[in-house]
Structure 1
Amino acid sequence: MSEGTSREPVISESRLRVRYAETDQMGVVYHANYLVWFEVGRVDFIRTLGMDYRSMEREDGLGIAVVDVSARYKSPARYDDELIVETRLLAARGPVIKFGYRIVKAADRAILCEGETVHVVVGKDMQKRTLPEKYAKRFAEVLIR
């Protein structure tokens, strides 16, 4: 790619439907469920890049531990709503990886929640590791700048 050429960011979309068990007494999705949906989006994003989180764990002995999470709730989701989790890579340097998320209603793309997760690459001993080149290279190709 030549200098000055822009590229479209890679954003994966994961569809899900709100289950009754995910709602609270007020009839809206319980706030912690959005964090579970961030994970769904993150795993799908990694698959979109042709990588497999299970292989990272089994073959490379690595995990990506969540060390920080934030969520900004804009509007409630309710039982049986069809949602889309949009996931993108915000940063990947050394042992740190940051993902961004937007959860929208499928029907009208209304934004329900936006958030980020920050991860540290760790070995089985839970000590920091540098992201292996095969992953770092692929992440660098799709990094939103």
Structure 2
Amino acid sequence: MASVETRLRVRYAETDQMGVVYHANYLVWMEVGRVEYWRASGLRYRDMEREDGILLVVAEVSCRYLSPAVYDEEVIVRTSVAEATPRMIRFDYELLAADDGRKLATGYTKHVFCGADRRPAKLPQKYHETLGIKTTGIKENT
């Protein structure tokens, strides 16, 4: 799947005293985009956690702020998988103003698959094709 677009509207509570979106809210929106990416792929975080005991732990996050979003503005969160292996996945994000396509921010999150004990684990095979994980020819330390 190339990318998934999620639309949301800036709530007043998400803005700061200057009238623009508080910077940490962009990370929340990236999470919303990531969850919707999984849902559009036919997957659900909840099922992966409950049925397979796999957690998606954030190992790295980056956000570059380019233009401010303001109250009541509609925002598009475009989410894609940039890299995936049986042990990690990286999502890339573009946050755009819906009215004029202005780029508000770009970023990424890198996640490690972990078991319930929070130790690194391999993602079960049943998820590989959906997420574009190539396992042939990969040599991993176990």
Query: Scaled by the length of structure 1, what TM-score is found?
Result: 0.89
Give the Cα separation in 1 of the matches to 2:88 and 2:43.
17
Q: Hey, which bits of structure 1, 4+ residues long, moved more than 2 A?
A: none
Matches within 5 A, 1:1-145: 10-140=2-132
Report the counterpart of residue 6 of structure 1 in structure 2.
Answer: none
Unaligned runs of 5+ in 1: 1-8
Give the Cα separation in 1 of the matches to 2:119 and 2:7.
34
Aligned residue pairs: how many? 133
Give the Cα separation in 1 of the matches to 2:19 and 2:3.
30
TM-superposition CA deviations, 1:23-52 (whole Å, max 9, x none) = 001110000000000000000001111111
Give the Cα separation in 2 of the matches to 1:75 and 1:23.
14
TM-superposition CA deviations, 1:88-138 (whole Å, max 9, x none) = 000111311000000001111110000000000011100001111111221
Give the Cα separation in 1 of the matches to 2:124 and 2:113.
10
Q: CA RMSD in A?
A: 1.0
Instruction: Give aligned-pair identity as a percent.
Output: 53
Give the Cα separation in 1 of the matches to 2:7 and 2:132.
26
Give the Cα separation in 2 of the matches to 1:63 and 1:135.
13
Give the Cα separation in 2 of the matches to 1:123 and 1:84.
32
Query: Scaled by the length of structure 2, what TM-score is found?
Result: 0.91
Unaligned runs of 5+ in 2: 134-142
Give the Cα separation in 2 of the matches to 1:63 and 1:105.
32
